[in-house]
Chains A and B, each alone.
Chain A
């Protein structure tokens, strides 16, 4: 948190479509005073590497065309491998609520429904960042 701002990496899975939700969230998080690195498309390994290079406090992954479980399954170990065990990991988009618990069991800290006001996500980040562990 250089300059005191929480740094958030926002990414979409490697091949996906429709960027409306992620772009809006990026803007709303900035409105809420967070610093957003908008990475768009990446494999879990690429996302974890950018997260390390950018030294972010939060990794957010948006999903439109399914595959959230597969992404989480690889993203969490990739972040751990990069020693980023205190990073806050959130997901959102077209993800069924029945999958929220399985995602949390894998290590994702919170999952958000599509279309929510970005402030809700910002509030969650502010109250949880730095207080979590991926261990």
Chain B
């Protein structure tokens, strides 16, 4: 409000507005967003008068986006999660997705491949505990032949392989490096992403490494890539996992950024210069159901990460970029009348795009029922593509900037998140919060509070506590033939017969020594893993000495 006259005009309007509402204003119910921040019904210039909004997209602190012209040069990457069966079935799906137009920056190919649970846990198809799970919720990849098949024919320098591994993250990278070598390529030809998300153990109740060792393994991968595959994205800061476990959007911001800081700290403690590796860390963030809260969260996130990285000693702008892949929330989708989920997913994609993210996976409407069908998966991809080409959303960078509400809320989310972030830092930081269950207890409490408010009706969910019907759903989910398990075991057995067992044993024995050394704070593990992959050690075989050396525990 630049001058006295304008200010007076506004005050007159405000007085008229107050008059309009005086009869009912006392009856209005107080509102809050999912993070518990009180929300007014109207925002004005007065709400943002104290904020410094003089910035531009592409300029520090990047609140308005990482790139100067938003999506004008290239749209976001469409990175649909996929993968099932053996590499054979997954190859077919890759080809289908390419034919459906799924692509990354400047038309490059992107494959966001999810492994099945046995591979993530580090057991091969023939392990008794793998029974019933092989190829079911992801692809089973355990031999070097599987990885050869995965990358066959794709141009490595322009294809992004994002490997959604679990604890087999380092063996997974070793295998794809060895597969690239067999094609006559050096490791630095590879493009893609390791998850390297050990810290997710703070919220996921699954067996994994002991915390100190988990961080040592994470850092080992970062060190290897920084030296040998500089373009590889080493680490996925899995805020989505925090969110799906029950965190509010503000908790997701605070604990996610604290996780990110813990990775930077670990890298620096291992002797790395922040400018050499921080630019290859990336985020995976969830989108829940309060539209503007999610947009504000994404804007605040960029600003906060820029400050954290700068404070950590980064000087290159790329190292201050919070590069974000969105996974729309699966937890908010419901099993009742599953087609209704398309409305939820559409809204979530809109929030991601208006929030200015780099990459999106959109859930399929039937994920609450089972593995997505071809139609539901395609519809999720097409929803992104409709947004990309028909909506006009990407014509203007950060189109909600300047909105009284969005700017106020962006600042509010940031300030609330800093409070929780600083509280955790004062407690000793993310790793400490992981070890002692500090983070988990807070997020579990939020999950419980959410469930209570759904039960009471305070948080309306269509089909669950509103417009409830008792119709039965006849939806047939995608079925993965259990025959695939037999096929995977046969492939594995045939593979093992072909390899030189002596060489495998020797490589595994060297790998075991490297594991023990790393456990004791010495040496590097990745080279020994790559050598084992070259000689034909399977994913499950590599994980045995790793479990021995680094512990295998469920944190409480």
- Contact surface of A with B, Cβ cutoff 8 Å: 13-20, 23-24, 27-28, 40-41, 43, 65-67, 70-71, 94-98, 113-119
Contacts and interface: CB of A to CB of B under 8 A. Distances in A.
Contact of A19 (B131, B204, B371): B204
Contact of B475 (A18, A19, A96): A96
Contacts of A117: 451, 454-455
A65 B474 contact: no
Given A15-B129, A24-B448, A67-B136, A119 B455 contact: yes
A94 B132 contact: no
A13 to B, nearest CB: 8
A98 B338 CA distance: 14
Q: Top 6 nearest A-B pairs by Cβ distance?
A: A70-B132, A65-B137, A19-B205, A67-B132, A117-B455, A113-B335
11 contacts: A13-B132, A14-B129, A19-B204, A23-B444, A27-B448, A65-B136, A96-B369, A96-B475, A113-B336, A117-B455, A119-B455
A41 B207 CA distance: 10
B331 A15 contact: no
B477 interface: yes
Contacts of A113: 335-336, 368
A26 to B, nearest CB: 10
Contact of A28 (B133, B137, B246, B451): B451
A115 B464 contact: yes
Contact of A96 (B206, B245, B448, B477): B477
Interface centre among B367, B474, B477 (most CB of A within 10 A): B477
A24 B129 CA distance: 26
Given A43-B129, A114-B335, 19 more contacts: A15-B118, A15-B130, A19-B206, A20-B245, A24-B447, A41-B207, A65-B117, A65-B136, A70-B132, A96-B475, A96-B476, A97-B335, A97-B472, A97-B473, A98-B474, A113-B336, A114-B334, A115-B368, A117-B454
Contacts of A24: 447-448, 451
Nearest to B450: A24
B460 interface: no
Interface of B: 117-118, 120-121, 123, 129-133, 136-137, 204-207, 244-246, 331, 334-336, 367-371, 444, 447-448, 451, 454-455, 461, 464, 472-477, 480, 482, 554
Contact of B204 (A17, A66, A114, A118): A17
A65 B130 CA distance: 12
Contacts of B451: 24, 28, 117-118
A67 B204 CA distance: 20
Given A94-B368, A115-B335, A119-B455, A20 B133 contact: no
Nearest to B444: A23
Contacts of A115: 334-335, 368, 454, 461, 464
B475 A20 contact: no
Given A40-B205, A65-B137, A70-B131, A23 B447 contact: yes
A96 B370 contact: yes
Contacts of B136: 65-67
A119 B369 CA distance: 22
A40 B476 CA distance: 28
A96 B473 CA distance: 8
A98 B476 contact: yes
Contact of B206 (A13, A17, A98): A17
A94 B335 CA distance: 8
B117 A16 contact: yes
Nearest to A112: B335
A76 to B, nearest CB: 15
A97 B369 contact: yes
Contacts of A70: 131-132, 482
Nearest to B136: A66
Contact of A17 (B117, B129, B331, B371): B117
Contacts of B368: 94, 113-115
A67 B117 CA distance: 11
Nearest to B554: A40
B469 to A, nearest CB: 13
A23 B132 contact: no
Nearest to A23: B444
Nearest to B475: A96
B206 to A, nearest CB: 6
Contacts of A97: 335, 369, 472-475
A66 B370 CA distance: 7
Nearest to A43: B129
Nearest to B166: A17
A96 B246 CA distance: 23
Nearest to B127: A15
Nearest to B464: A115
A5 to B, nearest CB: 21
A104 to B, nearest CB: 13
Contacts of B335: 97, 113-115
Contacts of B207: 41
A107 to B, nearest CB: 18
Contacts of B444: 23
